[in-house]
Amino acid sequence: MDAVLQTMVDEKIGPGERRKEFLKLFAAYLSLKDGVSERSYPGALTLALKAAGVKEGDKIIASVLSPEIYRVVAENLGASLILADISPESGCMSEEAIARAFEKGGSIILLHEPVCQLPVGLENIKELGLPVIEDITQSFGSRVEEDGDNGEKIIMAFPGRIGDYVVCAFEEDCIISTGGGAAVLARKEERIDALKKLASQMSPYNDLPDMNAALGIIQLGTLDSLLQRRNELYKMFMQAVMKTENKVFGLKSVDFLSNGFVFPVIVNGRTEDSIAFANKYDVSCRRTFTKSVGIHYQERYDLYPNAVAALNRGLSFPLYPFLQQKDIEALTKVLSHLV
């Protein structure tokens, strides 16, 4: 509140210095060089696709669990999606599925990282020679660490390591929320120049306002402590689910540090029964992928054998760093007895 009020007092609530500062801090956190900020998530996706060279008639490779907005943005650009199955290990697209989509004419990879998950086993997709747009909206803050020879922590996987262009939204339900908006980042100068050239055509009307950026700056300052708390709760809830016949969606390794975007579960039964059971104890949950492009393919086990379970039986439970003890106890109880 102080940051926003100070911005208003300064009489600089439109795009300006705070936008530049926020973008610089955000890029540095991801070890990326620079980029642009946008007022909307669809605008950022559109900008990234244009910078990657999308043309009318192109086919964009995307996960069957990707949000429906991918289809809308692609069609607005005259392109279409080729949907690919996921890896049962990570919940992100598998290397084999991407290769098959490439053989069908896919020319750009739009990599969705759902509900705090990170792609693993995609080291060879660069050999396809396709531009990769990595959407870290739901994975920002997650990482996979391993112990080094001298006991130090080595980060093996983190958001933004694969993409030629990296997109992240700052909506209400995101890890960093500026009340709306998004960023598109890159490492190489020529890609950054392409982004800025495209963005300048709509500037300042599409730039993130300073008032929103001020919120992001404050949140980045406390991010590490909040991520630590989110991961602690994630591990606690994971232990609770292990007492049942249900499964945690995505990565389960002890080396995986979750950003706690939500707590995702694949239930071994009817989702309606599980939701009713949770509501009985005043715990809210919802189906995870009802707004995905794959919601129309829930029965297509022949096409997406790994994703069908998530589409049909995936549930998300709330996970916030400021959950009160009574809420944590209620969630743990529900997860450990989930039907």
Q: Under CATH, what is the fold of the domain 2-221?
A: Aspartate Aminotransferase; domain 2 (3.40.640)
DSSP secondary structure string for all residues of 103-119 = HTTEEEEEEE--TT---
Give the pLDDT confidence of 177-199 residue by residue, as tens digits: 998 999 999 999 999 999 999 99
Residue with tokens 């693993």: 120
pLDDT more than 90, % of the chain? 83
Domain 224-336 maps to which CATH number in 3.30.365.10, 3.90.1150.10, 3.20.10.10, 1.10.10.10? 3.90.1150.10
Q: How far apart are the first and last CA of the chain?
A: 42
Considering the chain, what is the average pLDDT of its residues?
A: 93
Pairing of strands 106-112, 59-63: parallel
Over residues 109-124, the mean pLDDT reads: 94
Over residues 173-180, the mean pLDDT reads: 93
| pLDDT tier, 74 (very low <50, low <70, confident <90, very high otherwise) | very high
Total residues belonging to the chain = 339
| pLDDT tier, 9 (very low <50, low <70, confident <90, very high otherwise) | low
d(CA 206, CA 226): 30
Nearest CA to 339 out of 267, 290, 288 is that of: 267
Give the pLDDT confidence of 266-294 residue by residue, as tens digits: 999 999 999 999 999 999 999 999 999 99
Q: At residue 114, does pLDDT exceed 80?
A: yes
| pTM for this model (two decimals) | 0.93
Q: Where is pLDDT greater, at 12 or 87?
A: 87
Q: At residue 250, does pLDDT exceed 70?
A: yes
Element (H, E) at 69: helix 69-76
Q: At residue 11, does pLDDT exceed 70?
A: no
Nearest CA to 17 out of 210, 219, 208 is that of: 210
What are the residue boundaries of the structural domains of the chain, listed by start? 2-221, 224-336
